[in-house]
Structure 1
Amino acid sequence: MRHLFFALAPDAALRDAIANDAARLHLAWGGRATKPAKLHMTLRFLQGFTDPLPDDVVAAARAAGDAIASVPFAFELDRADRFGRRIGWLGCAVTPRPLQALHDALTESCRAHAVPMREEERFVPHVTILRDPKRAVPSAIAPLRWQVDGFVLMASAEGAYEVLGRWALRA
């Protein structure tokens, strides 16, 4: 099964900063650390597919990405938390409005282009840093500034991610 999703990909400096916080939390929380090359923030999950990915779905997702008009913005990762016992993450104590707006615009564009999406209860912006943390204790972290200049369409590919499309945000 391959998963298709829109995401924010951190630049090298931010990826290193996230990886450093992840390493520190891995020592405290246990679990399995996410490889730095896989660090990203999912904006919108699409459906999972068998391999190969359907060309029409990838084309529709690219068209949905093409339709997004948003200006660059910045926000901060300022919280370490978990989802149940399976996922340790870095994210936002409060979802920034521009980030929520980008998520919502992608959702609407996917609907308009008939891109099949995974159901979601709500958008919780986060970067998965650990799987199966044993002693996760939610807490504030020193803020990590994320400058958002664009987003990507990614597909999972045997333990890695493949970028299928890239879009710049324009002022």
Structure 2
Amino acid sequence: MRLFFALWPTAPVAKALSDVAECCAQRLGGRATRTATIHMTLAFLGEQPREKLPEILAAARAVRMAPFDLSLDRLGGWRHHRLLWAGCQSAPAALQDLAAGLHARLRNSAAAFGAGDAERAKWHFFPHVTLVRKLPAQAFPLALPACQPLSWPCRSFVLVESRLSAAGAEYRLMDTFDCCG
């Protein structure tokens, strides 16, 4: 199973981000992220054996999440990944705490991050939502439109299974972990 933890937007937030993605893809090229797959990854676990699922779920249930509102008020892009993203000028401390807590629980439980996983040991959380993939090389440097701030209420996080196909990734929400405070 290919797994990741994420913030999953409400339908209005997903629609608003999808609209921005479509507009930018028309303007810059590339492929807009589908409304149904818009999310903010908190921890990518990659391929995991099914027998690790109970340990992964237990690690996530031990994470404490305070409710917070995220303001997506910035667009940016990465030439090396050929993508456009939405992010925040200043990430709330509760978001950073959630991502760090989740990562620490997973690493400490060895549920998903093995001790020899050097790449994940260098982990750094950069909060962003991918809006457009496969931007053409000539789109860089990006001439980005102004970004109207979008408020995203965050009251839970989810575990998602990602299934890759020729049509793109299909996501299945496997479990939801609600705020505790």
Q: Which runs of 5+ in 2 are unaligned?
A: 114-118
After superposition, where does 1:122-141 map in structure 2 within 5 Å? 122-134=124-136, 135=139, 136-138=142-144, 140-141=146-147
Distance 1:167 1:111 in 2: 18
Match of 1:62 in 2: 57
One-letter amino acid of the counterpart of residue 13, structure 2: L
Distance 2:143 2:112 in 1: 35
Q: Which moved more, 1:100-109 or 1:133-142?
A: 133-142
Q: TM-score, normalised by structure 1?
A: 0.89
Give 2:105's match in structure 1, choosing from 106, 109, 117. 109
Q: 1:141 to 1:168 in 2, by over 3 A?
A: same
Fraction of identical pairs, as percent: 34
Q: Which runs of 5+ in 1 are unaligned?
A: none
Match of 1:76, SS? strand
One-letter amino acid of the counterpart of residue 15, structure 2: D
Displacement of 1:94 in angstroms is 2.7
Match of 2:116 in 1: none
After superposition, where does 1:1-171 map in structure 2 within 5 Å? 2-46=1-45, 48-49=46-47, 53-85=48-80, 86-117=82-113, 119=120, 120-134=122-136, 135=139, 136-138=142-144, 140-158=146-164, 159-171=169-181
One-letter amino acid of the counterpart of residue 135, structure 2: P
Q: 1:87 to 1:145 in 2, by over 3 A?
A: same
8 Å contact from structure 1 (residues 79, 138) kept in 2: no
Displacement of 1:139 in angstroms is 5.9
Displacement of 1:58 in angstroms is 1.5
Distance 1:108 1:169 in 2: 18
Cα deviation code 1:25-75 (max 9, x no counterpart): 1122211111111100001111x22xxx52232211101111011221111
Q: TM-score, normalised by structure 2?
A: 0.84
**Superposition CA RMSD, Å:** 1.7
In proportion to residue count, which structure has more strand? 1
Cα deviation code 1:74-106 (max 9, x no counterpart): 110111111224221111123221111100010
Displacement of 1:138 in angstroms is 4.8
Displacement of 1:133 in angstroms is 1.6
